[in-house]
Structure 1
Amino acid sequence: MTSQRPIVALSTGDPGGIGPEICLKAALDEDVQGLCRPVLVGDPMVMAAHIEGGGLRCAVDPVSSLADVNGATNHLPLIARDHFSDAPFQMGAITAQNGAASVDTSVTAIQMALTGDVTAVVAAPNTKSSINQAGIDYDGHLSLVARETGQSQEDIFMMLSFGQVNLAHCTLHSSIRRSLELITRKRVVSVIRAVHETLIATGTSAPRIMVSGVNPHASEGGLFGDEEAQIIAPAIADARADGIQLEGPVSADLMLHRDDVDAFIVMLHDQGHIPAKVMARHGAAGVIIGSPIQFASVGHGSALDIAGQGIANPDAMIEAIRWFFGETQLP
């Protein structure tokens, strides 16, 4: 029955970017509607602007209660937020109003997940410049989820997922210098455990995990640094003592050739994001692991230059929704 399918909140992200459009397209996808009941979170006027500008054949219906979310239709349920009653909406622009609106949609969806009203949250991209103009401290969805769920940012991590590839990061949005300070034995053990527990929870009974080094060639026996010997290898040994199947530290540039591994862990943002964007282009889901809620975002930006034109690709949004149900379809 329709009412038995879980409800997934789609946070529409930066209203001036492609977020509302890819949320609309994902919510209209037949496979998505077969897996869950998508509900949008955003401003009705913004949604109408994206529907009209993109020539989309749908409408949004504000709902006062999630009990009113019935399922498959081209009349999409919307948790309505009022973001522009006292300020003009600008499509494709970096503005404080757009920044504040994007954070509000994410926070609203996260709170719905914390109260159990929705099973999961999938968030469209935000624009950091707009959020900074609004005076809000923000460096990505990871820190926002940590703040709203009362967790330390040190305890949750981002894992890019596409097809059969799961690629987690020990550090994310920090400078290389700061990232090297953050890579500690404790933190590496924490990300290993978070990945292991996530894979177990999603149906992999005995996960096999590969951990990268931080230096070129994983330091090649100490020739290019000692972080592998002093930090990463001891952390791997600690996690192995808990019965986790691990390999590493290995060179980050060789890892993804392996197809017998359930998840990869890299130390730095670009060690994971560059190969993910090459391999999956616009189709990677950014899943937050170690959090009390199920939250994923897309692995691309808000593309202000094509906003409101109806040409945005919703694949990453759809992939993120599918991920929660074990239905990823990218190669």
Structure 2
Amino acid sequence: MKKSKPILAITMGDPAGIGPEIAVKTFANKEVYDWCSPVLVGSAAVMDEAMKIAGTPLLLNPIQKVEQARFEFGKIDVLDIGMVVGEIKYGEVSAEAGNLAFYSIVKAIELAKNGEVDGTVTNPINKKAINDAGHHFSGHTEIYAHYTDTSKYAMLLADEKIKVIHVSTHVSLRKACDLAKKERILEVIDILNKGLKRLGIDSPRIGVAGLNPHSGDDGLFGDEEIKEIGPAVVEAKQKGLDVSGPVPPDTLFALAAGGRFDGCVAMYHDQGHIPFKLAGFQWDEETKKMKSVKGVNITLGLPIIRTSVDHGTAFEIAGQGIASPDALMYAINYAVKLAQN
């Protein structure tokens, strides 16, 4: 095994979803091998079935250790996690599928922590399947935080025009408002600043969203901007960061898309996800499917690299061979950038 490019562990995702299929389509793109040395972490049996669905004439190279990988275009190096695969039906939530997806993630994390790979890239999982299998996590981010013993982390969504990080993610909207505190906001601003530098932006310009409509209108619609968000921005500026805010959310992302900011801080999940997906997801009404699903999910603050597609398992089209690998290609490209910096 020769290590001339970053070695990336790519998880297969939920085997009942589109993860294995888009992984096959990605490995069938020679450009990926120009960027990195990829190894698929999961089940060889699942990937064999996925190749039939994708209709891609590749060969499987099942391995037990990364050092056995060949990294040759035309072959998929599959680090098999050694779990027996029963009957898994496309598009259906099952504990067995969740269990396979979960242990693929844990294995990838282990490889990165041990220095056997330079970064990890994850395919979509189904949260209910994971929990039905007895693994009580609300998503990938929380799994990574737990297995790397990380307490300060944040989700960054990235595409060509918009890069947005979140103060909170998988919590209720009511709880998200309670979590918009100065200490956490300042922490996320700092994480974003460092993350953007790792992506090659030397002097990041950061815009911070308000929580309330019109950023509260001087306390008329809420005082979080006055008590929490504004003071966090002031302190970040005192540390020498180029930060603006709180900016009304409906204005912030339009400015970012136009090039005013290199990165944005959203106060909660949908505040950041909606403008991000509007920029990168394209629905085709004629074909009744997504024409493009570009966008990358990056967990910043971890001791290892983790990027991911920013779409779900797409159970409604799983097993049909029509899923787009665009987002996975983007996720790999961003993992390479992070590994190089």
Work out whether residues 124 and 313 of structure 2, in 8 Å CA contact, stay in contact via their aligned partners in 1. Answer: yes
2:53 aligned partner: 53
Cα distance in 2 between the residues matched to 1:12 and 1:81: 11
2:173 corresponds to: 176
Q: Is the 8 A contact 2:12 2:23 kept in 1?
A: yes
Moved more, 251-260 or 66-75: 66-75
CA distance in 2, matches of 1:158, 1:137: 19
One-letter identity of the residue aligned with 2:118: T
Taking the aligned partners of 2:37 and 2:73, their CA distance within structure 1 comes to: 10
**Which of these residues, 176, 201, 204, is aligned with residue 201 of structure 2?**
204
Measured after TM superposition, the shift of residue 184 of structure 1 is 1.1
CA drift at 1:72: 3.6
Distance 1:113 1:157 in 2: 19
1:268 maps to amino acid: Y
**Structure 2 CA distance for aligned equivalents of residues 256 and 231 of structure 1:** 21
Match of 1:323 among 331, 334, 341: 334
CA distance in 1, matches of 2:321, 2:18: 9
Once the 2 structures are TM-superposed, how far is the Cα of residue 128 of structure 1 from its aligned partner?
Answer: 0.9
Which residues in structure 2 correspond to 1:1-331 (within 5 Å)?
3-85=3-85, 87-152=86-151, 155-258=152-255, 259-281=259-281, 282-326=293-337
The C-alpha deviation readout for 1:86-131, integer Å capped at 9, x for no partner, is: x333222110001111111111111111111111111000001111
Q: Tell me the CA shift for residue 326 of structure 1.
A: 4.0
* SS of equivalent to 2:25: helix
Query: What is the CA distance between 1:41 and its match in structure 2?
Result: 0.6
The alpha carbon displacement at 1:145 in A equals 0.7
* Cα offset, 1:46, TM superposition: 0.8
Which whole-Å CA distance do the structure 1 matches of 2:278 and 2:88 have between them?
34
What letter is aligned with 1:140? G
User: Secondary structure of the residue that 2:249 maps to in structure 1?
Assistant: coil
**C-alpha separation in 2, matches of 1:233 and 1:324:** 33
2:36/2:336 contact within 8 Å kept: no
Shift of 1:63: 1.8
Alpha-carbon separation, structure 2, partners of 1:172 and 1:35: 31
Instruction: Please report how far the alpha carbon of residue 23 of structure 1 lies from its aligned counterpart in structure 2 after TM superposition.
Output: 1.4
- State how far apart, in whole Å, the 1-side matches of 2:41 and 2:109 are: 11
Question: Aligned residue pairs: how many?
Answer: 324
| Partner SS for 1:192 | helix
Q: Distance in 1 between matches of 2:2 and 2:26?
A: 18
Q: Which amino acid aligns with 1:321?
A: I
CA distance in structure 1 between the partners assigned to 2:122 and 2:335 by the alignment: 13
> SS at 2:336's partner residue?
coil
Q: Could you tell me which amino acid in structure 2 is paired with residue 316 of structure 1?
A: A
The CA distance in 2 between the partners of 1:30 and 1:220, in whole Å, is 52
What TM-score comes out, normalization by structure 2 length?
0.91
- CA contact under 8 A between 2:25 and 2:54: conserved in structure 1? no
Residue identity opposite 1:278 in structure 2:
L
Gaps of 5+ in 2: 282-292
TM-score under structure 1 normalisation?
0.94
Q: Deviations over 1:238-258 (max 9, x none)?
A: 111111110000011111222
Q: Per-residue CA shift, 1:38-79, capped at 9, x if unaligned? A: 100111111111111231221221123322323241111010
Give 3-state SS (helix, strand or coil) of 1:254's partner. helix
Deviation at 1:26, TM superposition (A): 1.7
Partner of 2:288: none
Residue 177 of structure 1: CA displacement?
A: 1.2
Deviations 1:220-264 (A, max 9, x none): 221110000100000111111111110000011111222131101
